[in-house]
Amino acid sequence: MTIATINGIPLNHDVKGSGDLVVLIMGTGSPGRVWDLHQTPALVAAGYRVCTFDNRGIAPTAECADGISMTDMVADTAALVEYLGGGPARIVGTSMGARVAQELTLSRPDLVHKAVFLAGHARMDHFQQTLSAGERELADSGVVLPAKYRAAVTAVMNLSPASLVDAHTARDWLDLFEFSGGSTSAGVRAQLDMDRSFDRRDAYRAITRPCLSIGFADDRMIPAYLSEEVADAIPGAEYLEIPDAGHYGYLERPNEVNKALVDFLAS
């Protein structure tokens, strides 16, 4: 990957393939390389130039421990698109990254050809706001959860029950979560401090670019009805709900997600 000064910060990014530009935006606490497991190869094979990057808060991009705002992240992504030759680009985001993609599509339509939001949301309900507050309190408490318990909670919150039915598949997921580390970096802690009290449903009625909102039927972190609300708010937007998929639906059901991405971005 390459680190360049973009929007005034060192921003770690990687570009694969050739053709029209697709920028993939990851969610809270995760590096951009997660996309390389499934989505990047599929999009490169479809003839796109694909950029993944680490959001501010995720080293070696600037951690910005003194504070991160959605405005910051949207500006980072806009500057990255311009750095890579300008738009309009195809934009895909998941969870927090979907919010970035939504706000970029609203504020900089000149940089967006089409946009896809995985687990997108125009607001958070009381559960999500309470969960976020609890995550911040846990990070600040200094309590370290036992690795196996942390793995089990991560699986329950982010995977569909369908992914845990098979004993071998469940073990693979739990092993991955157990050994993925449990500490919260200063940059991720800053991401957790971002505002969760927003409601952008009315604002998104001004989005003019073609959009696809994808909800995951078993998503506990961002319930599918919140993703459907995004499609309802944006004029002409499409909605697709993928069954047997939780918050990590792009990892659980990559074939279905990749087909949706490729078909929509090419249409």
Sheet containing 238-242: give its strands across. 2-6, 9-16, 49-53, 21-25, 89-94, 112-118, 211-216, 238-242
Of the residues 30, 72, 121, 247, only one is catalytic, namely 247
The answer to whether 263 is a known catalytic residue is: no
Strand 238-242 to strand 211-216: parallel, antiparallel, or no bridges (unpaired)?
parallel
Q: Which of 30, 72, 76, 95 is catalytic?
A: 95
Residue 166: exposed, middle, or buried by beta-carbon count in 10 A (0-12, 13-18, 19+)? exposed
Which one, of 197, 259, 263, 204, lies nearest residue 235 by Cα?
204
Location of structure tokens 């972190």: 221
CA 114 to mean position of chain CA atoms? 16
CA atoms within 13 A on the CB side of 252: 25
Q: Is 197 a catalytic residue?
A: no
Asked if residue 98 lies in contact with residue 121, where contact means CB atoms within 8 angstroms, the answer is: yes
Which entry of 54, 72, 218, 219 is annotated as an active-site residue? Answer: 219
Extended strands (E) in 69-145:
89-94, 112-118
Query: Known catalytic residue: 267?
Result: no
- Alpha-carbon distance of 239 to 229, in angstroms, equals 9
Which two structure tokens, joined as six digits, stand for 251? Answer: 């990892």
Q: Cα separation of 222 and 155, whole Å? A: 15
Interacting residues of 67 by C-beta distance below 8 A, sequence separation 6+: 190, 193
Active site residues: 95, 219, 247
